[in-house]
Amino acid sequence: MENKNIYVPYKMKIEKVTEEAPFVKTFRLKFMNDEDAEKFDFRTGQFGEYSVYGEGESTFCIASAPTRKGYIECTFREAGRVTKALANLGEDDIIGFRGPYGNIFPIDEWKGKNLLFIAGGIALPPMRSVIWNCLDLRENFKDVTILYGARSVADLVYKHELKEWEERPDVKLVTTVDPGGETPEWNGKVGFVPTVLSEIAPSSENTIAIVCGPPIMIKYTFPVLEKLGFTDENIFTTLENRMKCGFGKCGRCNVGKVFVCKDGPVFTLKQMKELPAEY
Amino acid sequence: MEIVNKLLDKSALSALIERLSKSGKEVYAPVKENGITDFAKVDTIDKIDFDCITTIQSAKSLVFPRVENILSYKKTSEDIVVKNVDITAFPEVVALGTRPCDAAGFIPLDAIFCTDNADEIFNARLKKLTVISISCKKADEYCFCTSVNGNPGNTTGSDILFTEISDSTYFAEIVSEKGKAILDTNTDLFKDTAAIDKTPHLAEVKQEFTAEAINEKLNTLFESDIWDKQSMRCVGCGACAYVCPACGCFDIQDENKGNKGIRHRCWDSCGFGLFTLHTSGHNPREKQSQRWRQRIFHKFSYQPVQQKQFGCVGCGRCSRACPADMNIAEHLKEIAVN
C-alpha cells in the first residue's frame, strides 16, 4: 500500500560528515530504500524537514545541487534541540527526511545572464545548491560572481569549495570577513558584505542577483543593489521563516497571503515588497 | 443533494441515539459536568445538555484532536522502524447537538487540511464523522453568526439539522448523503413533512457587520494603531485559538520513552510569542499587537485568498473564553466602521 501519510519521513543514512566551521556540519544523506531514491527528485531552492526521532524535526534547505545525483546534503549550525541532536550523530546513523518542499530558483529563466551570488555566514548553504547547479550548467550563463562574507575566517563554511571556486577561471569569488574577524594569513577582504558589494560594484546590466543572509545583511544589501541599478524583479532571495509542516497547514510561516513553505521560500524583491515585513 | 424534510419526535431522538451507539458509532454530544458543558461520549439521551448556547470547546477535536499521533517509531541498535498511523482504526463518529456555527467550522478546517497536500489523517477522521446539529433557539451577547454569513438555522457543514418546532418535535433537514444514510437505516423514526419555515423557532442574532466589509477594510488597515489599541489587554494565552472551531494551526513534537516514541501534532496558536520565533532569536511577530493583527488578517483577509473561506463562524467562543474580556465581535465591528 502506498504511504500517503504526508508526515512520514524517508529513511536516510548519513554517508559522510564534514566539519565546516565551529558548530557547523554538512551531512551527505543517502536513501535507505532504493525505491525512494529512484522516485525522489528535487530542484534547486527547495528545502526539507530533517528529523532525529525522539527530538523532532528541523527545517533546512537542500544544500546540494540536483545535478549531483544519488544523495542530498544539508548544512546546519548547532543551535536548538534538534540541531544539537543531529550534531551528535555520525556516519551510518539514520535520520528522517521529508521533502522536497517549496518553490525553486528559476534558473531556466536566467539563461544567458550574468549571475551575482551574495551570501552571508550560514546562509551560503541554500546558495550553494543553486551555485553548483548553475556551475554544472556553466555554458548557460555569462559571468558568475560570488560574494561571500562571514563574521570571521573560522566562520566561513565550505572552505574547500571556496578554494575550488577561487581557482576556477570562469568564477569570480570575493570573500570577506567582518572587521576584527581576519587572521594574519587572511588574504580576502575585510568589511561587511554590503560595504564590499559597493566597493566591487558589479554591473546590473543583464544580471540576476541572488541574496541570502541574516536579516540585517539582507536589509543593508538591497539598497546597495538598487543603487547599482538592479530592478526588484532581478533580485532573488530565499526566506527562512519558522516552519513545522512544510506544506502550508501548520500556519507558522504565514506572511500575508503566502506561506513561505508553499509559495516560497524563493521570492524576488518585488514579491517581498508586496508582503508585510513579517519575515 | 436536495434537502429532504422530515419530522422527528423527541422520543424518537432518544431511540436514534441508542441505535447509533449500539451500531458501533461513537456519539458525542454536549454534556454538562461540574457546571461546564462540553462534548462527551454518550449512549443515551439522558445526559445531553440541550439548553447550552454553545459548549466551551468547539467540536473540532472530533476531526482535529488537541494532541494526536502522526507516527510512532522504535529504535534498535542498527535501525529505526517507523510505524504509520492506522487510519482504518479510527471510529465512526456522530457529533450530535452541534450548533450550526460548529458545523460551519468544519468547512474552513477542511480547507486548511485539504488544500494542495491532502492530510490523510484529518481526511480519514472527517470521512467518518456525521454531523447532526440542532438549530439555536437562544443566543447570547457574544454570538455573531449572522455577521459572518451564518445564521441560527444554517445547514452548512451539517449532515442533518434539527430545529425544535414544539416541546415534543424536531423539524429535521437531511442535508447530505451521510445524513441520508442515517435516515435510511432509521426510517421508522422519521415522519414525512413539507418544508417548514424555521424562522419563528430560531434565536434572533442581529447582524452588526459583514465578513466581506471586514475583508475590504483590512486592505488598508495593516499599518494602523487599531491593533495596539485592541490588543492592549491581550495576555497571549491562546485560549481563543483553542476554543475556535476554525483554528487549525498546529505544532509537531516528539515524545520519546526509552528506545521508542511517538511524533504528535498538537494545537498551537498564532497568539503565542514562540509561534514564529526563529532559532536565531529573530521574531517576525515579536509584539502581541502584531499577533492579534495576524489572527484577524488570517481569518478575514488571508484565508479567503488561500482557501476561499473565511476563518470565522461567529460562535463567540473566543470572547467567552478570553480571560482579559476581549470581545471579537466588538473589535470586528470597530474594524468594519473604521
The alpha carbon of residue B8 is apart from the nearest alpha carbon of chain A, in Å, by 40
pLDDT in tens, B46-67: 999 999 999 999 999 999 999 9
Does some domain include residue A268? no
Instruction: Note whether A96 contacts B82, CB cutoff 8 Å.
Output: yes
Beta-carbon separation of B276 and A215 below 8 A = no
CATH number, domain with residue A143: 3.40.50.80
Task: State the pLDDT confidence band at A194, using cuts at 50, 70 and 90.
Answer: very high
Distance CA B111, CA B337 (A): 29
Q: Is the model's pTM score more than 0.90? A: yes
Q: Which of A3, A53, A262 is closest, CB to CB, to B261? A: A53
* ipTM of the prediction: 0.91
Residue A2: predicted pLDDT: 44
pLDDT over 70 (residue A3)? no
Contact list, B222 vs chain A (CB under 8 Å)? 276
- Output DSSP code: residue A123: G
pLDDT of residue B236 exceeding 50, the answer is: yes
CB contact under 8 A, A53 and B249: no
CA distance A142 to chain B (A): 36
Is A166 inside a domain boundary?
A: yes
Q: Is A55 on the interface with B (CB under 8 A)?
A: yes
pLDDT in tens, B211-222: 999 999 999 999
Looking at the structure, tell me whether residues A22 and A96 fall in a common domain.
yes
How close A235 gets to chain B, by Cα (Å)?
Answer: 21
Among chain A residues, CA nearest to B75:
A53
Adjacent-strand bridge partners of B254: B263
A17 and A74 belong to one structural domain: yes
Q: Find where cell 439522558 sits.
A: B46
Across the range B269-281, mean pLDDT stands at 93
In a domain, A211, yes or no: yes
Whether A1 shows a pLDDT value over 80: the answer reads no
Amino acid occupying residue B122: F
Contacts of residue B307, defined as CB under 8 A and 6 or more positions apart, other chains included, come to B108, B111, B112, B115
A112 and A234 both lie in a single domain: yes
For residue A11, the chain B residue with the least C-alpha distance is B80
Rounded percentage of chain B residues whose pLDDT exceeds 90: 95
d(CA A62, CA B208): 50
Residue A97 has pLDDT above 60, yes or no: yes
Chain B's closest residue to A81, CA to CA, is: B279
- Give φ, ψ of B336 to 5 degrees: -65, -35
Angle at which helices B177-185 and B10-22 cross, to 10°: 100
For B120, the closest chain A residue by CA position comes to: A5
The DSSP H or E segment spanning B67 is strand B67-75
How far is Cα A120 from Cα A147, in angstroms, rounded to an integer?
Answer: 9
Q: Least CA distance to A254: which residue of chain B?
A: B298
| Tens-digit pLDDT profile for residues B136-177 | 999 999 999 999 999 999 999 999 999 999 999 999 999 999
Nearest residue in chain A measured CA to CA from B122:
A5
SS3 B191: strand
**Final residue before a domain boundary, out of A68, A101, A134:** A101
- Residue A217 and residue A127 share a domain: yes
Strands A10-21 and A94-101: antiparallel
User: Residue B256's closest chain A neighbor by CA?
Assistant: A54
pLDDT at A88 over 70: yes
Q: Which domain holds residue A62?
A: 10-101
Pick from B116, B253, B294: CB nearest A56: B253
- When pLDDT is averaged across residues B226-237 and rounded to a whole number, the result is 95
> How far apart (Å, rounded) are the C-alpha atoms in residues A133 and B151?
56
* Candidates A3, A6, A256; nearest CB to B119: A6
- The predicted-structure confidence for A147-177, as pLDDT tens digits, reads as follows 999 999 999 999 999 999 999 999 999 999 9
Give contacts of A252 with chain B, Cβ < 8 Å. 249, 268, 270, 275-276
Q: Within 10 Å of residue A134's Cβ, how many Cβ atoms?
A: 23
Chain B within 8 Å of A279 (Cβ-Cβ)? Answer: yes
Largest Cα separation within chain A, whole Å, is 61
CB contact under 8 A, A54 and B270: no
Q: Contact B276/A241, CB-based, under 8 Å?
A: yes
The answer to whether the CB atoms of B254 and A55 lie below 8 A apart is yes
Nearest CA in chain B to A78: B279
- Helix or strand or coil: residue B183? helix
Contact flag B82-A53 (C-beta cutoff 8 Å): yes
Q: What residues pair up with B161 in beta bridges, in sequence order? A: B133, B173
pLDDT tens figures, B173-201: 999 999 999 999 999 999 999 999 999 99
- B246 to chain A: which residues are within 8 Å by CB? none
- Chain position carrying cell 477542511: B110
Asked if A252's CB is within 8 angstroms of B298's CB, the reply is no
How many CA atoms does the CB half-sphere of B334 hold within 13 Å? 15
> What pLDDT does B32 receive?
96
Average pLDDT over residues B63-84: 95
* Chain B interface includes A7 (CB < 8 A): yes
Domain count for chain A: 2
- For residue A91, being part of any structural domain is answered with yes
All residues of chain A having their beta carbon less than 8 Å from the beta carbon of residue B302 are: 254, 256-257
Q: Is residue A72 domain-shared with residue A165, that is, in the same domain? A: no
Is the domain of A61 the same as that of A179? no
Residue B121, pLDDT > 60, answer: yes
Min distance B237 CA to chain A CA atoms (Å): 17
- For residue A45, what is the domain's CATH number? 2.40.30.10
- Chain A from 219 to 258: CB within 8 A of any B CB: 240-242, 244-245, 247-257
Q: Are residues A231 and A113 in the same domain?
A: yes
- Sequence-distant (≥ 6) Cβ neighbours of residue B18 within 8 angstroms: B43, B44, B45
| Nearest residue on chain A to B306, alpha-carbon basis | A257
To the nearest whole number, what is the mean pLDDT of chain A? 95
Task: Tell me the residue length of chain B.
Answer: 338
* Mean of pLDDT over chain B: 95
Given B71, B112, B250, which is nearest A5 (Cβ)?
B71
Instruction: Give pLDDT tens digits for B293-335.
Output: 999 999 999 999 988 899 999 999 999 999 999 999 999 999 9
Whether A250 and B250 lie within 8 Å, measured CB to CB: yes
In terms of Cα–Cα distance, which of B106, B18, B73 is closest to B264? B73
Closest approach of B118 to chain A, Cα-based (Å): 8
Contact A267, A237 (CB under 8 A): yes
Q: What are the chain B neighbours of A279 within 8 Å (beta carbons)?
A: 284
Q: Is residue A267 part of a domain?
A: no
Q: Determine, yes or no, domain membership for A56.
A: yes
Which set of grid coordinates corresponds to residue A43? 530542484
- Residue that terminates a domain, selected from A79, A101, A123: A101
Note whether A279 contacts B73, CB cutoff 8 Å.
no
Answer yes or no: do A221 and A137 share one domain. yes
Closest partner residue to B261 among A4, A8, A54, by Cβ? A54
In a domain, A270, yes or no: no
CB contact under 8 A, B275 and A242: yes
Across the A:B interface, residue pairs with CB atoms under 8 Å apart total: 123
Q: Closest Cα of chain B to A207: distance in Å?
A: 30
Residue A277 inside a domain? The answer is no
Q: What is the pLDDT of residue B312?
A: 97
Comparing alpha-carbon positions, the chain B residue that sits nearest to A243 is: B276
